[in-house]
Structure 1
Amino acid sequence: MAGVDELGPSEPVPFWLRNADLPKRLVTALVMLVVSGTALWLGGMAWTVFVLIIGIGVWFEWSTLVLQFRTPGRSRNAWRCAGAIYCGMGSAILIQVREQAAGAALVMLIVGAVIGTDVGAYFLGRALGGPKIAPKISPSKTWAGLLGGVIGASLLIWAVLANAGRILAAAPSAQITAVETAASPMAILGMGMAVAIVAQAGDFFESWMKRAAGVKDSGKLLPGHGGLFDRVDGLLAVTVVFGTIFILVRLSTLT
């Protein structure tokens, strides 16, 4: 059977060859899902410690990338401080969200939407290929992948909202009604599109950092996925962006 490098330069690479690392990625993803799901279910200190460990790990990988930038020392220090703020904000928001009455469902909504974006973008992007969004930053990201991300995010958001009653069994009925009301098709599509765009932007930002550092992955901790930053770049962006918007809206109502 011909290997990948035996195919002619003009011959399209078969889908299964382009996804040769899929089994490894799936096993790693399953382990991550079990660990994070257990921490989310337990809540309290278990969730706080889990999020802080991930946040510190991401900041460490961020700092490692920055140290390989071709910039003056002061610029590197500024980047490291920015990374501490960025990772710290994302961690603090996820911890605070879980503490709310409907916290478990809200975290599932955020994480599920980002996972849907990643899965949809991965499969539809690889299956269809097509024009690249920004090949100089991330050669593998296509417009088809972005469309897949929107579809995947919307489906996961729908799945969480459709089961809001069961997920929020311990929450006040008013909160259950509010969440279920948000499950209109247009609202779901709008949320899916917003999450997919922000998550992809976070992915592009991390890709730019890796290119500036001259590396392929932010780390090697997760087989088939690279480092922690590689895995949560989209989630971090979504959490910080929408968390900040929510905080600003809440503050505006208090003035």
Structure 2
Amino acid sequence: MTELETPISKPRSDLGIRTLSGVIMMLVAASAIWIGGPIFAIFIALITVGLLYEWSKLALGLTPNPVARMLWILGGLAYVGFATAFIVFLREFAEIYILLGIIGLVISTDTGAYFAGRTFGGPKIAPAISPSKTWSGLLGGMTASALFISILGYCTEGFALWQPVTGAGLAIVAQAGDFFESWMKRRAGVKDSGNLIPGHGGLFDRADGLVAVLCVTALLVVTLQMTGQP
């Protein structure tokens, strides 16, 4: 997600396009999740195909070795497929606010990191991978995510200490997903994973952190179920 960077030099018109595109995407996604049924199924199918297509293009640019390329593509099938399957599971078998909450958490991380990075700047996290991301941006994202999950928890089930801790932890996961895609793009020699979304690049550029958070959350749920935790 490029919002976690600090694009100070971006022109105002580009920021407007990015904002409008982001609002439209969120409205479409929230509407599909809320409506459910065939609309939701079609939406998830399209997103999955789009993400796998962009992942495969990046994978082809990572290495000329055909065996390594195939392994990367298979890894993408597992990574993206696991995340989108978990979306379907949450929509069908959990309270809808949980799925919307995960999406909101990633948006909160993205927003908090963007504004904290622009406001405070400071040392870079990994300039060789993503030159604009700062430690202050990471802390801002963690804070925003912790606050969002705490407010959501208070409004739905009541506040508990694990909520801000989980929010901050998943913000780090979202940042890691962002860095992972940035590393893939840098190694493949491309700026964006695609050009589908004006001002944002491709679907994977927009959903890199969300995919990582969904996978980690799914693993946590499976682990808790296997250990008999509620």
Give TM-score, length-normalised by structure 1. 0.82
Alignment match, 2:221 = 246
More displaced stretch, 149-158 vs 69-78: 149-158
Aligned to 1:10: none
Between the aligned partners of 1:192 and 1:198, the Cα distance in structure 2 is 10
Task: Say whether residues 1:92 and 2:67 are aligned partners.
Answer: no
Q: Deviations over 1:109-130 (max 9, x none)?
A: 1111011001111111122211
- Do 2:115 and 2:137's aligned partners in 1 also have CA atoms closer than 8 Å? yes
Q: Name the SS for the 1:219 alignment partner.
A: coil
Deviates more, 1:106-115 or 1:153-162: 153-162
- Please name the residue that 1:171 is paired with: none
Go from structure 1 to structure 2 and tell me whether the alpha carbon gap of 1:161 and 1:45 turns closer, same or farther (over 3 Å shift). Answer: farther
Letter in 2 for 1:88: G
Q: Deviations over 1:166-190 (max 9, x none)?
A: xxxxxxxxxxxxxx13x23x33320
2:118 is equivalent to residue 132 of structure 1: no
* Distance change >3 Å, CA 76–CA 101, structure 1 → 2: closer
1:124-180 deviation per Cα after TM superposition (whole angstroms, max 9, x unaligned): 11222110111111111110110111122123223433432xxxxxxxxxxxxxxx1
Residue 221 of structure 1 contacts residue 227 of structure 1 at CA under 8 Å; is this kept in 2? yes
Whether the aligned pair in 1 keeps the contact of 2:30 and 2:100 (CA below 8 Å) is no
Q: How does 1:44-193 map to 2 (within 5 A)?
A: 44-102=37-95, 104-164=96-156, 180-181=157-158, 183-184=159-160, 186-193=161-168
Distance across 1 between alignment mates of 2:42 and 2:111: 27
Provide closer, same or farther for how the CA distance between residues 249 and 162 of structure 1 changes in structure 2, counting only shifts above 3 A.
Answer: closer
Q: 1:18 touches 1:126 (CA, 8 Å); kept in 2?
A: no
Q: Where do 4+ consecutive residues of structure 1 move more than 6 Å?
A: none
| Contact 1:219/1:226 (<8 A) preserved | yes
Q: Distance in 2 between matches of 1:220 and 1:73?
A: 26
Shift of 1:107: 0.5
Q: Is the 8 A contact 1:122 1:145 kept in 2?
A: yes
Q: Distance in 1 between matches of 2:106 and 2:59?
A: 25
- Structure 1, residues 29-58: CA drift from partner, whole Å, max 9, x if none? 110011011101112332222122111111
- SS at the partner of 2:166? helix
CA distance in 1, matches of 2:205, 2:153: 27
1:220 aligns with 2:213: no
CA distance in 1, matches of 2:109, 2:184: 21
Distance 1:200 1:19, change over 3 A: farther
Count of equivalent residues: 222
Q: Residues 224-239 of structure 1: matches in 2 within 5 Å? A: 224-239=199-214
Q: Which has the higher contact order (CA 8 A, sep 6+)?
A: 2
2 CA distance for matches of 1:22 and 1:157?
Answer: 27
* Whole-Å separation in 2 of the counterparts to 1:245 and 1:71: 35
What is the CA–CA distance in structure 2 between the aligned matches of 1:231 and 1:72, rounded to whole Å? Answer: 28
For residues 212-233 of structure 1, the C-alpha deviation after alignment (integer angstroms, 9 at most, x for no partner) is 1001111111111110000000
TM-score by length of 2: 0.91
Q: Say if 2:185 is the partner of 1:210.
A: yes
